Structure formats: C-alpha cells, structure tokens
Structure 1
Amino acid sequence: MLKNIPRLMNSIIFKLLVTLLLGFFFGHLLPTSIQSILYAISLSLKETLIFLLPVIIFSCIFSCLLSFKSDVFKFIIILLVCIALSGYISTFISYNVSKFALSGFNDIQEAQGTITSSLTPYWEFKFPTLISNNFALFSGFIAGLIFSKFRNNHVEVFADKMRTLVTLFLNKVFVPVLPLFALGFVIKLESDGILSIIIRSYFPLVVAIILTEVLYISLLYFIGAGFNPKKFLYFAKNVLPAGMMGFSTMSSMAALPLTIRAAEKNTGQIDLSRTIAPATVNVHLVGDSIAVPMIALAIMTTFGLAFPDLSTFMIFASYFVIAKFAVAGIPGGGIVVMIPILEKYLGFSPEMSGLITAIYILLDPLNTTANVLGNGAFAILTTKIFKKKSKVSTPVTETP
C-alpha cells in the first residue's frame, strides 16, 4: 500500500484535487490582481485548446477508423452503427434520469439571485477560427471510412504520425497544466460565491451517476445472458478484473488485455473478441455517455440555465455521440473534445467548461470502470449480431 503513495501523489487527480482545495480555501486570500491573472491564464489555456481542437478531432477520428483492421467494409459500418446506437441509448437514459435527479437543485437556482460576478480576466484574447470543429468531425469520419475501404500504407503511416503528435501534445502539454487550467475557474467561481453551493449540492448527483451506471450496465449483461442469473454471474466474474484494472489505472487501454480475455470467455468467439474489444476501447464509452450529460445538465441548473427540451438535447446528443470517436485515451480526454459542443448547443460559459472538466477528471476512475465494463457487455451483444455472418475461430473451452 505504501509503495503506491508516490504514484498517487503524482496522479493528475491528486494534483487537481489539491488545486481545487487550495482555490476553495485560500483563493479569496490572494490579491485581486493575482486572481485576475490566474483567471486569464485559464481562459488563455482554454482558447489555445479550442484553436487546436479541429486538428485533434480530425486526427483522432481518422486514425480511430483506420485502426479497424478488418477489411470488411460492411463489418465496420455495422460496428459503427452499433457503437452510435449504444451511445444514443445511454445518453438519453442520462437525460431522463437527470429530470428526476436534478429536482433537488432548486435551491441552487434560488441562490443564483444572490450571486454577483465581479472578477474579470487580467487579459483576454481570441484565436481566429480556421476550421470549424464540425467540419473536422465529419471530414475525419468520412476520410476514415473511405481509407478503411481503400487501404493505403502511406495514409496509415500519416494517420499514425498525426495521432502520435496529438497524443504527445495532450500527454506532455495539456494534462500537466490541467490543475492550472482548473485553478483560474475555481477562483472565479469562488469569487462569484457559487463554488460552496456546488460542493454542498453535488454529492447527490455523484450518487445518481453511479447508480445509473451500475443499473444500466447490469441490464446490458442480463440481456446478453438471456436473463439467466447463473450466466450473468459468470459474465460478471470474468469482466470484474478488467473493471478493477480500469479503476486503478484510469485507462481503458491499460485494461484492454483483461477486457479481451473476458470477452473471449463470455462470448466463446476468439477472433470477434480480438476485433471488437480493441476497436471500441476508446470510442464506446458508456460511463462518459451517462456521466457527462448528467454533470452538464446539473451545471446548467446551477448556473440558472433552463433544462434543455428534447429537440435541443437531440441535437447535442448527435454531435456528442459522433465526437466520442475523437476522444483521446488520456485523463480528461473524454471532456476535451466535448467543450465546444457543450458551449454551442447547451450554452456553456468558460466557467462552466472549467467546472465540468474538473468534475469529470475527479470522477474519472468511476467512469473508466463503467467504460470498461460497458465494453465487455458491448462485446457480448455485438458478437450475437456478427457470429452468424462472420467466420469465427474455435470457442474457448471454459463455459458457464
């Protein structure tokens, strides 16, 4: 246990938690000019990220689709449709649960009348928009589909290099400055008098997210087991080690070997398991699909924005589901590409974007666990679709 303490202290979650606590308890003691500078730094980091986001989105989606090693174009299309459909279902479950879970946030709305915004950034600048995020999103998707059909070694090398550069930037630049990115927004929220309200009121939201993830993922396994309790327990026994690995490492990719092994045991289909699990590891994100909308809707309520109607949320959900194909497998990667979508379709302000980034990262171990377990259920369900159309290898001998 003690040998894990240095790794814990170096983790991004520990650093972010310390930053949030320092900002909450001591931020108001700083001179106003220092608070203003820290807020300006956070806005500048956000503006830089938004400027580079089209490149990040395109490269991640493009390389993601090319990573589907199967040459069967129909297989890829069906798998993408299944991923998107799963994302829609879990996102709309999140929307409907939020209608009930956020009923206790009325006190926050009433408190909004007493909040006064005073802190302004020491400086502020805007980068020009060269390429829209939507253009990058759809062009990456279309290009990925085309070159997954017509394979070209030079294109695949180019895609790998782009993905490597983007991952290097996120890991070596963005992730290390995440605490600083969040600090300015925390100080801004504390200055406005809203941070204490958030801390006091968000615990029920965390409980609602966990319960929703547990119940929904359990339902997926029950469906995959044909509602056979014995088979359900067998599935759970096989996949729990992968979930524990995801929780401890906060990485679906680190848990991938265990996810593949669990899928092989649970489906009895080696080839399909070794194709579906790696292809969906960073794009089929049940935990994110449930947690991000619930956190976003709670923050909207906190800041006095109206709960979105179904048509507005459907537009948001459409971009949200597609944008998940651009998610980078790093701490905070699941929220990075969502910030422009949240701002454009749900009316998020920079402070709201900073807040959801902080909350998302703090909940990352739980959401990663849900992502890993959800991927295990997805492998079971999609294998039932594919096994009649695909040539599969000899089943694993162990059966329930």
Structure 2
Amino acid sequence: MKQIFSNLLFKVFIAIVLGVVFGVYLPEWINRIFATFNAFFGQFLNFSIPLIIMGLIMPAIADLGKGAGKMLLLTAAIAYGSTLFSGFLTYFTASSVFPGLLESQVDSAMSISETERELLPYFSITIPPMLDVMSSLVFAFIIGLGLSFQENSGLGKVVKDFQLIIMQLIEKVIIPLLPLYILGIFAGMAFNGKVYAVLSVFLKIIGVIFALHILLLLLQYVIAGMITKKNPVRLLVTMLPAYFTALGTQSSAATIPVTLEQTLKNGVSEKVAGFVVPLCATIHLSGSIMKITACAMALMILHGMPFTFTLFAGFIFMLGIAMVAAPGVPGGAIMAAIGILHSMLGFNEEMQGLMIALYIAMDSFGTACNVTGDGAISLVVNRCTKSIT
C-alpha cells in the first residue's frame, strides 16, 4: 500500500479526481486558493526551466563526448534516428487521425470558452527567468561540447554539482508539487465547465498512443530482424520481461539489469550489450517523444491553435536532443521538454500542466517502449560492429 500511495501516477490520478470534485462542488473562494498556488507554481516552473535545461544538458553532452569512439557515434546516431522516426511517425498519424477524432471536443471547448467563468488567484508573483529557453539551450550545448574535450576540468566538477542540485530540485520540489498543481488545473477546468471535453480527449489520446507504440516496437524489431537475419517476433518476445519490468519501475535506468539480461539472450555480445544498453537508457527516447508529440498536437487542436509540418519538424528535432538530458525519474522527459513546448509551440501554463498530466498518465508505457527498443538497437549495433571489424 505504501508503494501505491508513493507512486506518482497514483498521485496524479487522485489529483485529477479531486480537482474535478472540488471545481464542481466547492465554493469559488476555496477554488481560488488552488488558483493562487498555481499562479505562483507556474511562475516558479517557468523560472526553473532554463536552469533545468542547463543543469541536465551540459553534463549529458560532456559525458557523451568521452570514450568509446566509433561505437559511441554509431549507437548515438541509431538512437537519435529511432527517436526522430518515432516523432515523425506520431506526427503523420496524429495529424491524420486527431482532427476527426477530436472534432466534437473542439466544438464543445469553443462553445464553453465563449461563456466560461474565470477563476482568478487572490494574488500573483512574477518570477522572470534569468535566460530564455533558446539561450539556455545554446549555452548548454557550448559548455557541454567544450567540456567533452577537457580532462579533469574544474568547470566540469562545477557542472556535475549543478546537475545534482537540479536533480534535487526536480525530485524534491517540482515532482512532489506537481499533483497539487494538476489538482488546481482540473479544479479550474471543472469550475468553468471544460473538464469533460479535456477528459474525453485524454482517453482518446491514450488509446491512439498505445496502438502507436505497439506498432513502433514491431517496426523496430522487423528492421533489427532484417539486419541480423533473425526472427523479429522471437527477438521481441525475448525482450518482454524488460517491457513488463519497465511498466512497474517507470524508469529506464532501473530496468537496465533486466534489459541487459534479455539482450544477451538475443545473441548480442557482452561487450556491445554492456555499452549500448546503459547508454540507450539515457539517449533513446522513442516512446517519450511519441507521447509528447501526440499530446502536444491534441492540445493544440483542442485549443484551436494552427500547426504545420515545418513547425513540428523543428520541434521534433529539438525535442530529440533536449530529452537526452532527461533524468531517470518518472516525468523527467516532460520536465526537460516543457521549455520547448512553450518557446516553439506557444503553450501557456494551463497547457503545460495538461501536458504533464497526460505524460505522467502514460509514463509506464513510454518507458517500456524505450527500453524494449534498446534491445533492437543493441542487435543492430552488434551486427554493424561485427561487419566493421
């Protein structure tokens, strides 16, 4: 029971339920307390985003630049390619399916927005960020790449300490407060009558993404099977223990021992598996980018925001890089991506909160997709390194 109550997904589910109940049944003056907290936490989150980007991306790029030579470049290229493929597969599928699937919710949301009651905070505090998102990204890339060529750098030790501080900020402050933030968002939507349309969208998006991530895994293992000349179904079935372990842990890092064991059973050498599996636990995020791309498009459709292939292409390329820095905690990838959602797609605080809630609701399936795909990448790298040598 203790594990259930400490689970982030369970907390988010309870927050959504309580938010709907509070928004419908509690008086306005109580709901304004939650609106006040959300106004402050939203400002704090916007202030923290550039710090999160710098604190996670700088050491991630610095570490990727060290050691392992050709195998590192090959693994990173395949992992990034797999992540991009997942993002574009999701874009084309969602852009074809979502407009018709979400049409009724768009109409109801538009009618509600014309007459909705606004839930105002009692007061608000402005906390401007020290850097904007793009400036922090460029700064992080410059410092990270510079450190990748340095040995025993004093700045490298400072960056590592900064990373620990940011990890503590995420794990000890932001993640624990997210359920309360989500509660406030859903209380506000229930108060102004938008919650039914949003929850209906949630269920439809989750169904589409689940089907997509099964399709992606099949494609990954068909390609790996063609390259290695092995039965793709048998390869995928061998990786199922890693898939189900990731469903429970919600962490690619925590699933590494099982992923490694099943990868070895698929015939990957110990040297390749011992290198590729831990690396891909950090840099291969095909399931995560799928969730974020699909949810972002659905929310843009729901809010009547226009989108184009060019807009999402730039977003997917940038997202694939930014998520490399995602820490091994539930919800880490969305925290690394939230700044890009704001700067490139124009998401406001409410939309950011909905993205976080949607992402965490599907976090287990995204992580399972990531780690199972790591096994396919290991097979390809194993085959390619044999042909090189």
TM-score where L is the length of structure 1: 0.89
Secondary structure of the equivalent of 2:128? coil
Distance 2:52 2:228 in 1: 43
Match of 1:15 among 5, 11, 14: 11
Q: Give structure 1 stretches of 5+ with no counterpart.
A: 391-400
Q: Compute the displacement of 1:245 (Å).
A: 1.1
Letter of the 1:202 partner, please give it: F
Letter of the 2:131 partner, please give it: I
Distance 1:339 1:17 in 2: 20
Match of 1:38 among 28, 34, 43: 34
Q: Once structures 1 and 2 are overlaid, which stretch shifts more, 9-18 or 258-267?
A: 258-267
Q: Compute the displacement of 1:282 (Å).
A: 2.6
Distance 1:151 1:378 in 2: 30
Q: Compute the displacement of 1:42 (Å).
A: 1.7
Q: Compute the displacement of 1:101 (Å).
A: 2.4
Match of 2:199 in 1: 199
Secondary structure of the equivalent of 2:130? coil
Report the RMSD for the aligned CA atoms in angstroms.
Answer: 2.3
Distance 2:65 2:344 in 1: 34
Letter of the 1:31 partner, please give it: P
User: May I ask how many residue pairs the two structures share in their alignment?
Assistant: 385
Match of 1:396 in 2: none
Letter of the 1:23 partner, please give it: G
Letter of the 2:373 partner, please give it: G
Match of 1:243 in 2: 243
Q: Once structures 1 and 2 are overlaid, which stretch shifts more, 148-157 or 28-37?
A: 148-157
Q: Tell whether the 8 Å contact from 1:60 to 1:326 is kept in structure 2 after alignment.
A: yes
Match of 1:325 in 2: 324
Q: Once structures 1 and 2 are overlaid, which stretch shifts more, 61-70 or 246-255?
A: 61-70
Query: Mapping of 1:308-387 within 5 angstroms?
Result: 308-387=307-386
Q: Tell whether the 8 Å contact from 2:91 to 2:293 is kept in structure 1 after alignment.
A: yes
Q: Compute the displacement of 1:89 (Å).
A: 1.3
Query: Mapping of 1:41-190 within 5 angstroms?
Result: 41-68=37-64, 71-73=67-69, 75-102=71-98, 103-115=100-112, 116-152=116-152, 154-190=154-190
Distance 2:333 2:358 in 1: 12
Q: Tell whether the 8 Å contact from 1:56 to 1:326 is kept in structure 2 after alignment.
A: no
Distance 1:24 1:338 in 2: 27
Match of 2:252 in 1: 252
Q: Give structure 2 stretches of 5+ with no counterpart.
A: none
Match of 1:393 in 2: none
Q: Once structures 1 and 2 are overlaid, which stretch shifts more, 212-221 or 158-167?
A: 158-167
Distance 2:56 2:388 in 1: 29
Distance 2:129 2:178 in 1: 23
Q: Tell whether the 8 Å contact from 1:90 to 1:286 is kept in structure 2 after alignment.
A: yes
Quick check: 1:6 aligned with 2:2?
Answer: yes
Q: Compute the displacement of 1:62 (Å).
A: 2.2
Letter of the 2:375 partner, please give it: G
Quick check: 1:305 aligned with 2:305?
Answer: yes
Q: Compute the displacement of 1:34 (Å).
A: 2.2
Q: Compute the displacement of 1:113 (Å).
A: 3.0
Distance 2:379 2:228 in 1: 14
Letter of the 1:261 partner, please give it: E
Q: Tell whether the 8 Å contact from 1:222 to 1:229 is kept in structure 2 after alignment.
A: no
Q: Tell whether the 8 Å contact from 2:268 to 2:378 is kept in structure 1 after alignment.
A: no
Letter of the 1:348 partner, please give it: F
Distance 2:276 2:255 in 1: 14
- Identity value in percent: 25
Letter of the 2:381 partner, please give it: T
Secondary structure of the equivalent of 2:79? helix
Distance 1:76 1:140 in 2: 21
Q: Tell whether the 8 Å contact from 2:133 to 2:343 is kept in structure 1 after alignment.
A: no
Could you report, residue by residue, the CA deviation over 1:149-191 in whole angstroms, capped at 9, with x for unpaired residues?
3332645533432222222221111111111111111112112
Distance 1:256 1:284 in 2: 13
Q: Tell whether the 8 Å contact from 2:56 to 2:163 is kept in structure 1 after alignment.
A: yes
Could you report, residue by residue, the CA deviation over 1:107-146 in whole angstroms, capped at 9, with x for unpaired residues?
1121133212421222223222322222322332333333
